[in-house]
Structure 1
């Protein structure tokens, strides 16, 4: 394990990274929020089906 080479590559990546613009950040947040809502709806639908079936939890 070459620590000096690893640190150099990490520093290079950090120098290339930049802060996203507000438009880019809001778009990513919107997509992530939509994913959370979709997973929640799917979970609720599974729960509702399990409650309607005979012998549900």
Structure 2
């Protein structure tokens, strides 16, 4: 992996970067929250199935 040691490479990236507006931030937060809830729900369903099906319980 080639990591540039020149400061100009980092300043160029920082100049291109911009902070998101409120609409973009809220949309990203909503999608990330929905993903977290979906993964948690899937884990809970697997936990329930593991407890109900004989021989797979903890």
Q: TM-score range by the shorter chain?
A: 0.7 to 0.9
Structure 1 partner of 2:5: 3
Alpha-carbon shift at residue 51 of structure 1 (Å)? 0.1
Stretches of structure 2 that go unaligned for 5 or more consecutive residues are: none
Structure 1 partner of 2:41: 41
Where in structure 2 are the equivalents of 1:1-57 lying within 5 Å? 3-4=5-6, 7-55=7-55, 56-57=57-58
For residues 17 and 24 of structure 2, the distance between their equivalents in structure 1, rounded to whole angstroms, comes to 14
Query: What CA RMSD, in Å, does the superposition of the two structures yield over aligned residues?
Result: 1.4
User: Per-residue displacement from partner, 1:16-43 (whole Å, max 9, x unpaired)?
Assistant: 1111000000000000000000000000
Q: Which has the higher helix share?
A: 1
State the TM-score, normalized to the length of structure 2.
0.86
Stretches of structure 1 that go unaligned for 5 or more consecutive residues are: none
State the TM-score, normalized to the length of structure 1.
0.87
